[in-house]
Structure 1
Amino acid sequence: MFTIISYDIVNDKRRTKVMKLLKGYGQRVQYSVFECQLNPTELINLTRQLLALIDRNTDSIRCYRLDADAVQRIAIYGIGRVTTEPTHWLV
C-alpha cells in the first residue's frame, strides 16, 4: 500500500540513521518525507526498525497509509510527482 512517512528527529545521528533506513524502503520526496510502497510485512518490519532507532520522548515519525483512490487525489504544486514505481523488485 502507498505509505507516506514523515519524521522529526532531534538528534543528527538518529536522524541520519532513520533517513538511511527509509531510503531502503522508498523514495525521498522532501527533506524528511518518504513515499513508499509497502506490503503489511514490510510495514511491520520497518516499524520495528524505526522504533529501535528513535527516542519516543523527543522524536516523531508519522506513517500515512493511502489506498489507490486517495493516491489519485494527491495534489502536488511546483516540482515533483507521486512515486508510483516500486523501490525494489524481488527476483
Structure 2
Amino acid sequence: MLVIVCYDVSTEAKAGRRRLRRVARVCEGVGQRVQKSVFECQVDLAEFEALERALLAEIDAAQDCLRLYRLPETRGYAVREYGTFKSTDFEGPLVV
C-alpha cells in the first residue's frame, strides 16, 4: 500500500529541532521525500505498523502533528506530479 506521511514538528525549542530530524530520519529509512515534511512510502501492513510506532515514539503529541494516509491498492490511486520533482516508480522495472 502507498502511505503518505505528513508531519509538522514544533521547532521553537532545541528539543523540537532534534525531534524534527529524528522524524525525518525515520521516514527517509522507509520512503522518499516529496516535499519538506511529506513522504511517500510503499509498505505492507507490518511495515506500516512499524513505521507508525517509530514515528509515534519520536513526536510530542502535545506540540507536533503527524498524519498518515493509507492508500490501499484495492481501491486504486493515481498520483499527478507537476514541477521539477520526479518520484521513483517502485512498481516499475529496476534499471541499474
TM-score bin (small chain): 0.7 to 0.9
Q: TM-score, normalised by structure 2?
A: 0.79
CA RMSD of aligned residues (A): 1.5
Counterpart Cα distance in 2 of 1:27 and 1:5: 10
Whether 2:14 is the aligned partner of 1:9: answer no
Unpaired runs of 5+ in structure 2? 11-15, 92-96
1:35 is matched with which residue? Answer: 40
User: How many residues end up aligned between the 2 structures?
Assistant: 84
4+ long deviations beyond 4 Å: none
**Alpha-carbon spacing, 1:42–1:23, altered in 2? closer, same or farther (3 Å):** same
CA deviation after TM superposition for structure 1 residue 84, in Å = 2.4
Higher relative contact order (CA 8 A, sep 6+): 1
CA deviation after TM superposition for structure 1 residue 85, in Å = 1.5
For the pair shown, which has the larger CA radius of gyration, 1 or 2? 2
CA deviation after TM superposition for structure 1 residue 76, in Å = 1.7
Query: Helix, strand or coil for the counterpart of 1:58?
Result: coil
1:81 is matched with which residue? Answer: 86
CA deviation after TM superposition for structure 1 residue 80, in Å = 2.2
CA deviation after TM superposition for structure 1 residue 18, in Å = 0.4
Identity of aligned residues (%): 40
CA deviation after TM superposition for structure 1 residue 83, in Å = 3.7
